[in-house]
Structure 1
Amino acid sequence: MSKLFQGTGVAITTPFNNGTVDYETFERHIEFLLNNQVKSLFINGTTGEGSTLTKEEQIKLVETAVNVTNKRVPVYVGSGTNDTAASIQHSLNVKAAGADGIMLITPYYNKTNQRGLIAHFTAIANAVELPVILYNVPSRTNMTIEPETVKQLAENPYIVALKDATGDMKYVETVKSLVPEHFALYSGNDDSFIEFLNRGGDGIISVAANAIPYEFQEIYDAYQKNPDQAGDLFAEISPLIEALNIDINPMPIKALVTYLGYADGSLRLPLVALPPHETKAIIHVYQQIKDGIL
């Protein structure tokens, strides 16, 4: 069994126009990403403000992405919630819209235990019958998928990957030692991309790649031949990754993609736009990287 993808996946932003989803701009952004060598798209996740989109908007975004990509890269969709039954129904709708797979977050607020996680993810995977990427992001859900839990879930034929946003390389190493070879591991943190690859990771699901997709894929490709060169390339973009940490995702990246013409600067409450001086600082770093100054 082959990995879902190797290299750079992009957790794509969702553009708005006067409060409604701007599907035309979304299409242009996808084409930009495809033209810059990305290997997969992730729709309706944290960066895409999925929790503030209606179900109708989410499905139309999936249909749009599937149509634009036209099988050039796979399209994965964040379809998990803290309600197992609702997650199953929405995931089935996502499947009908043409998604290649789904990404499932750990339940939040009514958080469960590890046995509950196994039951939750297994029920969704078996009902939907699409490739499943588990999403471990305890900073947002206050819950971790323990390595032994990942090991058990990896026995399910539909559960084939993990996006890990813990930043804990010991966790990554432990999971890597427990799962079968075909099970893919993707970094959910831009700043630990190289370290994640050092631990045997298969790629990244990136936020910053919304703006610098080619650079991320270049780093991955370089790493396969010369890790030191990849490290040098990563050092060149690190100032932008740091600049994008000025506030909570996706507020900073939304400011940058607006500058690039792939959003209008707006977010849906409770998220708010960055103040002008912070936006200016991010754009300044981006321009320096593109001009080869940094």
Structure 2
Amino acid sequence: MTPPSFDCTGVIPASLLPLHADFSIDIESYRKHLNDMADVRGISAITVNGHASEVSSCTFDEQRLLLETACDQVGDRVPIVSGIYADSTAEAVRLARMAENAGASALLVFPPNVFALGSRPEMVLAHFTSIAEATSLPLIIFQFPVKEPLSYGHDVIGRLIDSVPTIRAMKDGSSDPVRSEMAVREYQSDTFSVLTTHSAWLLQSLVVGCKGILSGAGSTIANLQVELFEAVRGHDLEVAQAVAARIYSTTQAFYCNPGVDMHNRMKEAQVLLGRLPSSVVRPPLQMLPAAEVERIAELMRVAQVL
């Protein structure tokens, strides 16, 4: 199957990973979850095999299963972006080839965890070049917060864009409004898009000019993200502010400390909404205490989602 073309813009929710009590993948619930997202009017793609779907605990075969299932279930309706999460370039290349064969339309390339010790620009460039040589699919850079070693310098991002033509976008998680605006003003073009994932200041980042949203929160509030994106694009500030006020409460529900629990909280929200039967997560992640689940429920009610 030839994957649908995708320009790497728009609202792109990232899928969660439904699990049974024994930590095996609940494929039936996963298919329903994919349908729930694909049914949201206005989304442009769905991301699988990312942080939101607990990719760090998934084997190569499980990642292939999740991608193939997504392509089978909703791939005829929306493009599928597959995460490339690997600690070595060789494994990243292997995943990229698998993803293209399975029907992905684009690849979201995570930095190898070894870069947490620091990296040189030539390492980053070589990593992306090797992936690009292995696949014809468009690539999306995953930019981490600038205070973390896994992030790329502003000049490094420029070198990547200039050197690897199939890099078409960046998921901007820089957590720095100045750097985010620099990326939009200096690098965004007809062939390269900045996609915000800054739920804490989603409205502001869209007003600056980001061409889309790529976020795990889209698993649960993609409709609100679409409303906000369209309101900003339509220059309707009043509507944008009203939607942003609702999103603010969901941000408080999902993105408080510790950050490692953000997608656990989204799973709990899915259970509260009746969309998933279970909020089981794979260790070392642990399910949330009852008091936090109740806090999530209250904030979802404030957001008029629950």
TM-score computed with the length of structure 2 as normaliser: 0.89
Cα separation, 1, equivalents of 2:146 and 2:285:
17
Q: Which residue does the alignment assign to 2:268?
A: 255
Partner of 2:24: 20
Letter in 2 for 1:135: F
SS at match of 2:104: coil
Backbone CA RMSD of aligned residues:
2.0
Which residue is 1:154 aligned to?
161
- In structure 2, what is the Cα distance between the partners aligned to 1:141 and 1:272? 24
Q: Which of 245, 257, 261 is matched with 1:235 structurally?
A: 245
Q: Distance in 2 between matches of 1:291 and 1:98?
A: 33
- Check if 1:46 corresponds to 2:46: no
Q: Which residue of 1 aligns with 2:105?
A: 100
- The structure 2 residue matched to 1:169, chosen from 161, 164, 177, is 177
Aligned mate of 2:86, from 64, 81, 86: 81
**Contact preservation (8 Å) 2:8, 2:169:** no
Distance in 2, matches of 1:189 and 1:174, equals: 15
The within-5 A match list for 1:1-294 is: 4-18=7-21, 19-37=23-41, 38-110=43-115, 111-138=118-145, 142-155=149-162, 156-179=164-187, 180-225=189-234, 226-246=236-256, 247-248=258-259, 249-260=262-273, 261-290=275-304
Distance 1:192 1:229 in 2: 16
CA distance in 2, matches of 1:109, 1:116: 11
Give unpaired runs (5+ residues) of structure 1.
Answer: none
Structure 2 spans left out of the alignment, 5+ residues: none
> How many residues were matched structurally?
291
CA distance in 2, matches of 1:245, 1:70: 29
Kindly report structure 1 stretches of 4+ aligned residues shifted beyond 6 Å.
none
- Cα distance change of structure 1 residues 217 and 252 upon mapping to structure 2, 3 Å threshold: same
Q: Report the identity percentage.
A: 24
